[in-house]
A and B are shown apart, each in its own frame.
Chain A
Amino acid sequence: MSPKVRDYGLVLMLIVAGLVPLIVGLNPYLLTVLILMLIFIIYSSAWNFLTYTGQGSLGHAAFFGLGGYGSALIASWLSLPPFAAVFIGAGAAALAGLFIGAICVRLKEWFLAMVTFGFAIIIQTLVVSRQFSGITGGWDGIAAARLMPGGGGTNLLIEYYAILVIGVMVIVIFWLILRSKTGLAFAAIRENELEARAAGINPVKYRLFAFLVSAYFSGVAGALEVHHLGYITPEIFGVDISFWPIIYSISGGLMTLSGPVVGTIAITIVWDGLQTFGLTYGRFIIIGLLLILIIIFLPKGLISLPDRIREYRDKRKK
């Protein structure tokens, strides 16, 4: 699929996303599901941004959670409206991203995976530690101002559109970065680091930049979630929060803008749909199996499925 077609796809998806509330109406449950889905689309897209430089993280919950804590605290200290605090609070995640990125940029994939995984654990330990629990509320957590207090269909609809706008903004920013010289440098580093160096590209600089951007927008997603739920506890640094964006991005397709979007939507439908059949553990088994099958048979994710089907049909015709 050419990049151009993909871009059309995204525009189309945007139109659909804008129209979805017309179908679900003011149904608060479905709006809740959609809002959480949008937040995870932002989060998965931010996680996926890292893979453009050939890096991967198993501990993005650290950034998701730091963004949440940063924003919840700033909103309460400065009495800022949550929609503003989100962008400032995510700075905490960006700082952490810069720090961990500085350690990670020279490391090989396995080491990177371990360091990021461990970093989420270290951050959680710090947040609940005696030294910081005065600020973070320790295990009790802290309240976060809600995006749209009062709830109900109309408020959730406003929230949905606001988060949709933020989501579109984030993806447009990623798109702008990737089509610029920086994006070319990313690709060069990913394909062959030595050649990239020879061409005068400093991989460390670009990888660090990717880390910073990825961490910042993961923080934005985390902050949005926390303000949506109205409360934050250290459980936000859990392993599941680190693993979901990986599952979403791989399912949809790594190193594409539409991959995480498609993946998040598809997996959310599968996950919540299976629940109506009364499956509990079975759901995790199915997700695990799906992930393995996709990695082996559909390495470019669900968005490459139509291509693969066409290839298969062409082959059969011959």
Chain B
Amino acid sequence: MTGGLDIVLQVGIWGLYAGCIYILLAIGLNLIFGVMKVVNFAHGEFLMLGAYVTFTFYAISGFNPYVLLVASVPILILIGVTIERLCFRPILGTGKLNEIFISIGLIYLIQNAAAVIWTDEYRIIHSPFESITISVFGVNLPLDYLIIIITTILILIGLYLFLRKTRLGKAMRATSQNRKGAMLMGINVEKMDMISFGIGAGLAGAAGTLWVVSGQVFTPYMGSIPAVKAFAIIIIGGLGSIPGAIVGGIILGLAENFAIFTIGGAWKDAISFLILIVVLIFKPTGLFGESAE
């Protein structure tokens, strides 16, 4: 059997690719948390809806599925804004437990509505570039994965520029640093809530499209585990911290894959939570978290 290094490199690239989905989810969750201090456990359902929106448009139009990012992202932004307006705004400030419980209601509602609309049989579509692989550092990499990694990086750069360079982005950051202060400065924080929720949902929608084009199967129930993992990542990294999310993602990705190699794939989910628990025991605010709420 050929030796270790190229295998490590290969696993690394898959980790990077799988990480794209997690990163898009985790950053969306983080953005929402930063601005609203709300944790949406139903975030994975946006991923699932993004996948099905892509699938539906693909089935109707036959366009290159990558192009359908322009459909899935706006539609999910719209859905996100609606859900923020109808479900989260009315309960804002009534207690953290309520936010968690309302997400459970949303999970049941969205998953089963999707099962009614699209049936719960699994779906898969084939990317037009499916059979093309290119060699990068001696590792065979499907072209699709390369596009996905690049797309994710572009989306993140776009998000960074939006948050740093535009008025709206600056207002959002101000809100997330100090809500009361922002309010005093004349920032419409409720608008910021809506926008951040919309962007978060849109990022999850983009992740959904990327999930579909990479030839992964999807069902109405696919969202829960990635969302829980994304949430574990931002807890490990520290709520509200973007570098924390990236470090958290890397730790979790490495640990899961290491677990598959050593103690077996059955431990894949358990190991993420074990790490989460260990981190919380020793640093209850997460690795990069600020101590204050």
* 19 pairs, A vs B, C-beta closer than 8 Å: A56-B97, A103-B280, A109-B100, A111-B280, A111-B284, A113-B100, A115-B273, A118-B272, A122-B274, A125-B266, A281-B113, A285-B112, A288-B110, A291-B104, A292-B87, A295-B101, A296-B90, A299-B91, A299-B94
Expressed in whole angstroms, the Cα–Cα distance for A139 and B270 within the complex equals: 16
Assess the B273–A118 pair: CB atoms within 8 A: yes
Chain B interface residue count, CB cutoff 8 Å, equals 44
Question: Does more than half of chain B's interface fall in helix, strand or loop, or is it mixed?
Answer: helix
Counting from the closest, the 4 A-B pairs by CB-CB distance are A118-B273, A288-B108, A288-B109, A291-B105
Q: Which of B110, B267, B277 contacts A103 (CB 8 A)?
A: B277
Q: In the assembled complex, which residues on chain A have CB atoms less than 8 Å from the CB atom of B35?
A: none
Assess the B100–A282 pair: CB atoms within 8 A: no
Q: Which of A108, A111, A247, A299 contacts B98 (CB 8 A)?
A: A299
Q: In the assembled complex, which residues on chain B have CB atoms less than 8 Å from the CB atom of A58?
A: 100, 104
Q: In the assembled complex, which residues on chain B have CB atoms less than 8 Å from the CB atom of A254?
A: 97
Q: A281-B115, A296-B91, A299-B94 are in contact. Are A291 and B269 (CB under 8 A)?
A: no
CB of A296, distance to nearest CB on chain B (Å): 5
Q: Does B171 belong to the interface (CB within 8 Å)? A: no
Least CB separation from A239: chain B residue: B224
Q: Does B52 belong to the interface (CB within 8 Å)? A: no
CB of A25, distance to nearest CB on chain B (Å): 35
Q: In the assembled complex, which residues on chain B have CB atoms less than 8 Å from the CB atom of A281?
A: 112-113, 115-116, 120
Q: Interface code A107-145, partner B: CB below 8 Å = 1, 0 otherwise? A: 111110111011101100110110000000000000000
Q: Which of B39, B105, B235 contacts A295 (CB 8 A)?
A: B105
Q: Does A308 belong to the interface (CB within 8 Å)? A: no
Assess the A292–B270 pair: CB atoms within 8 A: no
Q: In the assembled complex, which residues on chain B have CB atoms less than 8 Å from the CB atom of A129?
A: 266
Residues of A within 8 A of B (CB): 51, 54, 56, 58, 103, 106-111, 113-115, 117-119, 121-122, 125-126, 128-129, 239, 243, 246-247, 250, 254, 281-282, 284-285, 287-292, 295-296, 299
Q: Does B106 belong to the interface (CB within 8 Å)? A: yes
CB of B256, distance to nearest CB on chain A (Å): 13
Expressed in whole angstroms, the Cα–Cα distance for A254 and B101 within the complex equals: 11
Identify 16 new A-B residue pairs, CB closer than 8 A, beyond the known A109-B97, A296-B87: A56-B101, A109-B100, A113-B100, A114-B235, A117-B228, A118-B228, A118-B270, A119-B273, A119-B277, A239-B224, A243-B104, A281-B112, A281-B116, A285-B112, A289-B109, A291-B102
Assess the A282–B266 pair: CB atoms within 8 A: no
Q: Interface code B116-146, partner A: CB below 8 Å = 1, 0 otherwise? A: 1000100000000000000000000000000
Assess the A110–B239 pair: CB atoms within 8 A: yes
CB of A302, distance to nearest CB on chain B (Å): 15
Expressed in whole angstroms, the Cα–Cα distance for A117 and B232 within the complex equals: 11
Q: Which of B101, B108, B228, B274 contacts A287 (CB 8 A)?
A: B108
Q: Does B107 belong to the interface (CB within 8 Å)? A: yes
Assess the A288–B284 pair: CB atoms within 8 A: no
Assess the B100–A118 pair: CB atoms within 8 A: no
Q: In the assembled complex, which residues on chain B have CB atoms less than 8 Å from the CB atom of A111?
A: 235, 280, 284
